[in-house]
Structure 1
């Protein structure tokens, strides 16, 4: 068991977890009946009823918010809330805490292998959280689900976060983690040419940046698996940022706060290492799997990045999780749809590794 990803739940969070567990076992017929009353967005997607509950609760219950108070408090809150939604998994064949050398010193990582035997490859996974919150612990359940679904080893990493360490610290750390993964893969019985780079939200941004920054090197990602990525930090308005500005877990207020912390110097917001969508040339990049949530302010820029990659000749699969909100890979305990879409991400990784 990884000590770095273990979270002790306080009593309120234990009650919350029990409630999520009960809700997650509601029959499909009940969810379907409730879904008939759910909101439909401008694109025609219908919000899953359990996602509507999470979105509304996040706006009303302070401990479910990703911003407010000190960064330390927000980080602890996200770790606890994510742990309260953890799914049950059997023992893993490998679960080891490691360190890698970042530019400013050693950083933590955890490697997971779900089953005995030869893995399909390796996934370098970068957690989300607006470059300010999130950790290996907050994404432990999501990473386990991806390991089971993909058959790959997952290397889940920490990186320096804002406001203590603003841009480009996270980029530099993730590039160092990539190079660590390439060097370490043979020790784990994995071909370095079979490494996927993946992440959700801010982690999806960093995964896309790694794919860009390593272009032309001897070893590049086999696939970039981008999960509701933020791709444009320049402040550009999109239809989804307007439509889903509040009420769907990730809010405009959250995004503005994260941007101010991560990119306090205005001119850096158009740097392609912060806004990969703004890169002039995306040709020659690894194949991409991009999944966006239907009720997510980041939906449109994820779609725009997938379309720009495709226009540059990159092989792209774009998947729309129409019933979901931002952060759904951490909500598998509560949502059957979230479990299904996370399994589809794992299948896409396995498919990318098989090519």
Structure 2
């Protein structure tokens, strides 16, 4: 794959800067290099999410005081699993601040604690000081972690570049000393070889961020002599025996000089019997995990790592503390007719009951047999289950098995009413035999599964407004108009109509956020935003919505009837076409795990709101490339570019048939997002970036 175009542009700028006289790192004094490296961090990686952070000091073996930073991304009331993290920088540059955003993201998304270690740097501290500091940090965590609210039985080691070298070297040292292995070692493009002389080192010796001259400058400062190169604490490939180590997860970059030695190390681990997963990220360069402001793949990677960590920590917790009866349980929340229900699946036994825990429950069997997904409630001794229980069970079955397009449903003969409503709505059919067949494509078009008291289609009558003939629209809704459980977040997304008194403070703050203001251009005083919301409330073609996750507001959406909108003259607008604008006001909700939740949900809501809506349109700024790419991945066709008076826009369009036929509420592609609760969440299948759109 070619070098990622955003990285290519970034590297071209770096090359031009050097041509204009900026000295490369290898020509700087170490102190100057550190200052330059740290100064670039904010521009390259931005600011991480807000969460509790604690600075920690501990003693090294030589009596020096070492610094560490503890990020808490989980419930402070319970001991947290911990990622022991070592930053990259060639043993010469880097520190707690250079990797702050990365550590914050991993702590929040897993969730877990992250203990980042500020090991001492060269040339002031030569080999093997960095390794000794790393080992002392691991020993401190084992001895003192409990006192800081950490779970020393659930620990993983991780690092990038030479930090990855330190992380895997620690597993070797722990094995040789008879200490417990971590649950996992996460190695981001680690340095593993004695000599940097592989094909990839020659191929990418210059012009790809990490250059051969810089690498040797760094190692020249760190190593005491050439003899140190053969020490496995510097070059893990020099270790004679790699058996008995923790499972390894390696991340490599296609255009990285270190990619060959990363592959070689992964293959050596596998040959030694170590459970090893590794992936080469195409089009990427060394250190791309810290380039979140340059390439979206950095954010994708963070989510992928967090999911991997969550799975490892979750398996350990289940093995250590969960009763045998609960192993394998999966929990899903449903809201048919606005009734909050909890679905629990333990192996094939599925139970539906109220989320509050008090009230009637229903029991089902869910299993796959001969390629068929079957939900069976015929043998239950419960009273006839409520229709909402049936809907919740079906939704959970399709969510748990996203590859299945049909569901074989068997109910007790005493429950014909529940099945009849599904058949009448076109969601189920009755072929010969005891089972009904529920079609996923049709079921997901039933408004009552995700809406409280959905409205009947409004009688079609025409009117004129501003010279445009269009159907008369119903009175705008009020309250919660949509609820959907997002399994990869283990949270419920809701869309609520705007209450100006309640929502104005957040809306005002969001509009003045620089990221939002760049696209919306509506920054200003509180009075201006109050007037804006009043205008929206009075406009019959537009409804303002607040997006929430488990009740926490994160963004604002405007959904509109396209035929009366400014977009109508630019395409053949249908009577019931809809459109939307969005802003994600809370920065920590701008990542891919959240966009894969809200964008399909907004589309889903608009198709449910009126069964006659066949198309949804969108008109982001033509230069909002990330948003346009995200829309494409969510099924929106890129129709054309056109000019509004205030911007050049791209017309995107999503067809109802495609949305339901291709199940576009399920993110399409490779799984990359980690659940914040490993035993309660399922990962989505694709990550998509977004900040805001107009």
Alignment CA distance shift 1:297-1:64 (3 Å):
farther
* Match runs of 1:106-125 below 5 Å: 106-117=65-76, 118=78, 121-125=81-85
State which of 143, 162, 168 in structure 2 corresponds to 1:202: 162
Alignment correspondent of 2:508: none
State which of 181, 198, 215 in structure 2 corresponds to 1:220: 181
Q: For residues 260-284 of structure 1, give each alpha carbon's deviation from its aligned partner in whole angstroms, at most 9, with x where no partner exists.
A: 1111401111111111011110000
Q: Relative CO higher for 1 or 2, CA cutoff 8 Å, sep ≥ 6?
A: 1
Alignment CA distance shift 1:160-1:98 (3 Å):
same
Alignment CA distance shift 1:290-1:120 (3 Å):
farther
Alignment correspondent of 1:58: 14
| Larger strand share, 1 or 2 | 2
- 8 Å contact from structure 2 (residues 185, 247) kept in 1: yes
- 8 Å contact from structure 2 (residues 243, 272) kept in 1: yes
State which of 69, 78, 81 in structure 1 corresponds to 2:37: 78
Distance across 1 between alignment mates of 2:200 and 2:159? 21
Task: State the 1:167 CA deviation.
Answer: 0.5
Task: State the 1:148 CA deviation.
Answer: 2.0
- 8 Å contact from structure 2 (residues 10, 294) kept in 1: no
Alignment CA distance shift 1:307-1:244 (3 Å):
same
Distance across 1 between alignment mates of 2:43 and 2:228? 36
- 8 Å contact from structure 1 (residues 150, 346) kept in 2: yes
Alignment CA distance shift 1:241-1:121 (3 Å):
same
Distance across 2 between alignment mates of 1:159 and 1:190? 21
Q: For residues 180-217 of structure 1, give each alpha carbon's deviation from its aligned partner in whole angstroms, at most 9, with x where no partner exists.
A: 11122212333312111100001011111111111153
**How many corresponding residue pairs?**
309
Alignment CA distance shift 1:176-1:296 (3 Å):
same
Alignment correspondent of 1:238: 198
Alignment correspondent of 1:165: 125
* Match runs of 1:1-355 below 5 Å: 45-62=1-18, 65-92=24-51, 94-104=52-62, 105-117=64-76, 118=78, 121-215=81-175, 217-232=178-193, 234-355=194-315
User: Any gaps of 5 or more consecutive residues in structure 2?
Assistant: 316-694
Alignment CA distance shift 1:284-1:64 (3 Å):
farther
Greater Rg over alpha carbons, structure: 2
Alignment CA distance shift 1:129-1:224 (3 Å):
same
Distance across 1 between alignment mates of 2:206 and 2:179? 44
Alignment CA distance shift 1:91-1:119 (3 Å):
farther
**SS, match of residue 44 in structure 2:** coil
Q: For residues 190-245 of structure 1, give each alpha carbon's deviation from its aligned partner in whole angstroms, at most 9, with x where no partner exists.
A: 3312111100001011111111111153432111100010011x224111111111
Task: State the 1:88 CA deviation.
Answer: 4.0
**SS, match of residue 131 in structure 1:** coil
Task: State the 1:177 CA deviation.
Answer: 0.6
- 8 Å contact from structure 1 (residues 202, 230) kept in 2: yes
Distance across 2 between alignment mates of 1:77 and 1:64? 11
RMSD value over aligned CA atoms?
Answer: 1.7
- 8 Å contact from structure 1 (residues 123, 196) kept in 2: yes
**SS, match of residue 193 in structure 1:** strand
Alignment correspondent of 1:9: none
Alignment correspondent of 1:19: none
Q: For residues 119-151 of structure 1, give each alpha carbon's deviation from its aligned partner in whole angstroms, at most 9, with x where no partner exists.
A: 751011000000111101111111111112221
Task: State the 1:259 CA deviation.
Answer: 1.5
Distance across 2 between alignment mates of 1:231 and 1:292? 12
- 8 Å contact from structure 1 (residues 100, 180) kept in 2: yes
- 8 Å contact from structure 2 (residues 242, 272) kept in 1: yes
Alignment CA distance shift 1:290-1:276 (3 Å):
same
Alignment CA distance shift 1:89-1:319 (3 Å):
same
Distance across 1 between alignment mates of 2:175 and 2:212? 33
**SS, match of residue 27 in structure 2:** coil
Distance across 1 between alignment mates of 2:14 and 2:311? 35
Task: State the 1:348 CA deviation.
Answer: 1.5
**SS, match of residue 121 in structure 1:** strand
Task: State the 1:68 CA deviation.
Answer: 2.4
Alignment CA distance shift 1:87-1:263 (3 Å):
same
**SS, match of residue 156 in structure 1:** strand
Task: State the 1:250 CA deviation.
Answer: 0.3
| Larger helix share, 1 or 2 | 1
Task: State the 1:161 CA deviation.
Answer: 1.2
Task: State the 1:334 CA deviation.
Answer: 2.2
Distance across 1 between alignment mates of 2:72 and 2:245? 27
Distance across 1 between alignment mates of 2:89 and 2:118? 12
Task: State the 1:51 CA deviation.
Answer: 1.3
- 8 Å contact from structure 1 (residues 59, 65) kept in 2: no
- In the superposition, the TM-score normalised over structure 1's length comes to 0.83
Alignment CA distance shift 1:195-1:283 (3 Å):
same
- 8 Å contact from structure 2 (residues 156, 184) kept in 1: yes
**SS, match of residue 56 in structure 2:** strand
